[in-house]
Amino acid sequence: MSEVVEKKSLVARLEEEGDVAADYLEALLDIADLDGDIDIDVENDRASLAIAGGALGHLVGDRGEVLDAIQELTRLAVQTSTGERSRLMLDIDNFRGEKKEELAKLAHEIAEQVKASGESVKLRPMNAFERKVVHDTIQEIGLTSESEGEDPNRCVVVLPE
């Protein structure tokens, strides 16, 4: 199978995931009597869904814990429908988008600190999404990072060159 055909097949599968997830989320919003616009996209080889609208903050939670739970339930709904494990990402009211910017800024600050001191720096415990953002940013900067510990206390450690 050629790479182009495989890529098209992957995109089609991810679009199907997005459609199944959107149907599930639409039903969830209806049950909760909430209005929201659902945007479906495929990025970084995963389905990505975003819900925007008024009064959705309680679907995020104080630190995104409700959003994480809804994302996991949506992944399970997709898996039940398609028979495939889903890695979809869900964002509500741009919570993850804003968090991503904050974490990238933090990663740059920590990278400067590590470069200046030559010492590794351990960050606060983070969820998988947050750790990935930090790891990706640190890699772009040219440093190395690793995760240590067990959830919910798993942390990123940024290592000197």
Q: What's the CATH code of the domain at 120?
A: 3.30.1370.50
Same domain, 137 and 117: yes
Model confidence pLDDT, tens digit, residues 28-85: 999 999 999 999 999 888 999 999 997 898 999 988 999 999 999 999 999 999 999 9
Tokens 């097949």 sit at which residue?
A: 9
Same domain, 9 and 26: yes
* Domain finish residue from 62, 93, 124: 93
CB 130 within 8 A of CB 103: yes
Give the residue numbers spanning the domain of 80: 3-93
Q: Largest Cα–Cα distance of the chain, in whole Å?
A: 53
Q: How does residue 115 score in pLDDT terms, banded at 50, 70 and 90?
A: very high
